[in-house]
């Protein structure tokens, strides 16, 4: 265990002028066990209720009576909010994961499993930081844990509505996503489009008798690729991914239906980009925009003494506007999130506990 405390001291930025108490020597064992406990419950989006109940129990063990609340999201799912005093700074992350679920494994240096870095290891580190703050007699902070970050962010939307009905007015939100323990200066936004094309079925030997929905959709995608994509000096260039295409009936039938789902990673204002893309999709008819949604790109806070980075993924932060000025930081790398190789380094987990504690102390 001492090995991880040594790695922690080697990997962190210089401490602030005031001295901080040492982390408890049993931290690594508790931190790793908590991470695995969370990973081993299947909380792929839509199945968060069981891990939510576990977290409610764990938080009730360290929070004042009545200061852990369930925020309803739908008939089965809920967010959690815990507070210690009047929360000026709120730590936040999500309890859901992408499918498929697979349980935890542990090596000398890593913990593996679905959610290891996105974001159950992060959540375990945040709870560890809260325990360290409480041991030092600190109050004035909270913890928000939401559902559905990996899909439609309805958990974040519910949390944002809820806090506005209370007397809580937090000044700062520290959101947790895998940033390799660096403060993110910004994060990309997204534009989502579902395109649908309708044609007329016919025998493929007589194509003149039908109209191919697949051809119409492919033509729209080709026009899309000619649209000029904006760039930003910090966030870099806009990217587009055609993530899903479905349609047609058989190789010998002219396709009477086709659909595609497209995700654009944005880097700034999107009015011109949206106009150009939507004109490209619908030019000439035959293709319609069946559904669309947007999450804006963000510029985020930084602090002296904390290394910085830029991330291309999108978070719940744009949906949590009532929770204070946003910062984004967490252990782990996004490069293994959403994959069968999802894992997190134990040394990064231990370092994250101190980073979160230091952030809360500084921002208070």
For the segment 182-202, what is each residue's pLDDT rounded down to a tens digit?
999 999 999 999 999 999 999
Percent of the chain exceeding pLDDT 90 equals 91
Parse the chain into domains and list their residue ranges. 2-186+298-363, 189-295
Band the pLDDT of 2: cuts 50, 70, 90.
very low
Looking at the annotation, which residues are catalytic?
149
Average pLDDT over residues 62-83: 97
Rounded Cα gap, residues 118 and 193, in angstroms: 25
Within the chain, how many helices (H) and strands (E) appear? 8, 18
Whether the pLDDT of residue 336 is over 50: the answer is yes
Whether the pLDDT of residue 308 is over 90: the answer is yes
Place of tokens 């369930």: 70
Q: Terminal CA-to-CA distance of the chain, rounded, Å?
A: 30
pLDDT for res 14: 47
Rounded Cα gap, residues 113 and 49, in angstroms: 19
pLDDT for res 22: 55
For the segment 135-182, what is each residue's pLDDT rounded down to a tens digit?
999 999 999 999 999 999 999 999 999 999 999 999 999 999 999 999
- The candidate with the shortest Cα–Cα distance to 150, out of 120, 113, 182, is 120
Average pLDDT over residues 81-110: 98
- The candidate with the shortest Cα–Cα distance to 327, out of 179, 173, 180, is 173
Other beta carbons less than 10 A from residue 215's beta carbon: 16
Instruction: Tell me what the pLDDT averaged over the chain comes to.
Output: 93
Q: What backbone phi and psi angles, to 5 degrees, belong to 299?
A: -105, 135
* Residue 121 vs residues 164, 177, 297, 330: alpha-carbon distances, Å: 29, 10, 25, 9
pLDDT for res 25: 60
Whether the pLDDT of residue 91 is over 90: the answer is yes
Rounded Cα gap, residues 120 and 88, in angstroms: 24
**DSSP characters for 24-71?**
PTTHHHHHHHHHHHHHTS--BTT--HHHHHHHHHHHHTTSPTT-EEEE
Percent of the chain exceeding pLDDT 70 equals 93
Average pLDDT over residues 78-91: 98
Band the pLDDT of 24: cuts 50, 70, 90.
low
Strands (E), 57-124: 68-72, 78-84, 89-94, 105-106, 110-112
pLDDT for res 346: 97
pLDDT for res 27: 80
Token representation of residue 200: 């007329």
Rounded Cα gap, residues 16 and 168, in angstroms: 29
For the segment 6-21, what is each residue's pLDDT rounded down to a tens digit?
444 444 544 444 444 4
CATH number of 189-295: 3.30.70.360
261, β-bridge pairs: 194, 244
Q: Which CATH class is domain 2-186+298-363?
A: alpha beta
pLDDT for res 23: 55
């Amino acid at each position: 265990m001492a090995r991880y405390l040594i790695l922690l001291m080697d990997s962190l930025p210089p401490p602030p002028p005031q001295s901080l108490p040492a982390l408890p020597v049993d931290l690594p064992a508790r931190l790793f066990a908590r991470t695995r406990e969370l990973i081993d419950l299947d909380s792929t989006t839509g199945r968060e209720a069981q891990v939510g109940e576990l977290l409610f129990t764990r938080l009730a063990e360290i929070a004042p009576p009545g200061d852990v609340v369930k925020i309803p999201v739908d008939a089965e799912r809920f967010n959690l909010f815990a507070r210690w005093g009047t929360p000026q700074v709120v730590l936040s992350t999500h309890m859901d994961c992408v499918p498929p679920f697979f349980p935890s494994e542990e090596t000398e240096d890593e913990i593996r499993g679905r959610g290891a870095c996105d974001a159950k290891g992060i959540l375990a580190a945040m709870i560890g930081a809260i325990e360290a703050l409480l041991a030092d007699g600190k109050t004035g902070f909270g913890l928000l844990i939401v559902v559905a970050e990996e899909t439609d962010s309805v958990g974040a939307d519910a949390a944002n509505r809820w806090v506005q009905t209370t007397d809580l007015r937090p000044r700062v939100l520290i959101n947790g996503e895998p940033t390799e323990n660096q403060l993110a200066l910004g994060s990309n936004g997204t534009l989502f489009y579902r395109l649908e094309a309708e044609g007329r079925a016919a025998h493929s030997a007589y194509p003149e008798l039908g109209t191919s929905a697949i051809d119409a959709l492919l033509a729209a995608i080709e026009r899309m690729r000619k649209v000029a994509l904006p760039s930003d000096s910090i966030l870099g260039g806009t990217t587009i991914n055609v993530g899903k295409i479905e349609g047609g009936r058989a190789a010998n039938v002219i396709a009477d239906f086709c659909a595609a789902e497209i995700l654009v990673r944005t880097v700034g204002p999107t009015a011109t980009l949206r106009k150009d893309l939507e004109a490209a999709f619908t030019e000439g008819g035959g293709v319609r925009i069946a559904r669309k949604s947007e999450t804006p790109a963000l510029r985020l806070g930084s602090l002296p003494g904390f290394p910085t980075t830029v991330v291309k993924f999108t978070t719940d932060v744009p949906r949590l506007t009532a929770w204070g000025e946003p910062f984004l930081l967490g252990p782990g790398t996004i490069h293994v999130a959403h994959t069968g190789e999802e894992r997190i380094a134990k040394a990064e987990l231990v370092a994250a506990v101190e980073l979160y504690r230091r952030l809360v102390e500084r921002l208070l």
